[in-house]
């Protein structure tokens, strides 16, 4: 699995924020990093509503999808292993 680089600028201070993550959910990880920067540095959420809505949607949809993918992998791996080794 490769890595993806996502970058953007802080809407408050203009600082370039860059994130290098796996291909699973790089946008979600970047939005979390952007929100964390704004909370830590500026003590407020990002003003632009599209960033906050995207962040909330990524959290609501992204994490459950990763959990479902992990559960499917854990459930199917033993059957695959048995199939390959018998």
What would the pLDDT profile of 29-54 be if each residue is shown by its tens digit?
Answer: 777 788 888 888 888 776 666 666 77
What pTM did the predictor assign? 0.49
Q: Collapsing DSSP states into helix, strand and coil, what is residue 18?
A: strand
Find how far residue 47's CA is from the centre of its chain. 20
Match 């890595």 to its residue by tokens: 3
46 closest CA partner among 83, 11, 81: 11
The ranges assigned to domains in the chain are 3-85
Q: What is the pLDDT of residues 2-35, one digit of tens each?
A: 677 888 888 788 888 887 776 666 777 777 788 8
Cβ-based neighbour number of residue 45 at 10 Å:
13
pLDDT of the residue at 80: 83
Q: Which helix (H) or strand (E) holds 4?
A: strand 3-9
Q: What is the DSSP secondary structure assignment for residue 63, as one 8-state letter?
A: H
């Amino acid at each position: 699995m490769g890595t993806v680089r996502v970058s953007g600028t802080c809407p408050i201070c203009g600082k370039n924020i860059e994130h290098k993550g796996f291909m699973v959910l790089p946008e979600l990880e970047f939005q979390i990093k952007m929100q964390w920067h704004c909370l830590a540095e500026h003590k407020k959420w990002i003003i632009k509503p599209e960033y906050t809505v995207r962040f909330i949607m990524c959290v609501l949809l992204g994490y459950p999808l990763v959990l479902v993918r992990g559960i499917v992998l854990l459930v199917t791996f033993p059957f695959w292993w048995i199939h390959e080794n018998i």
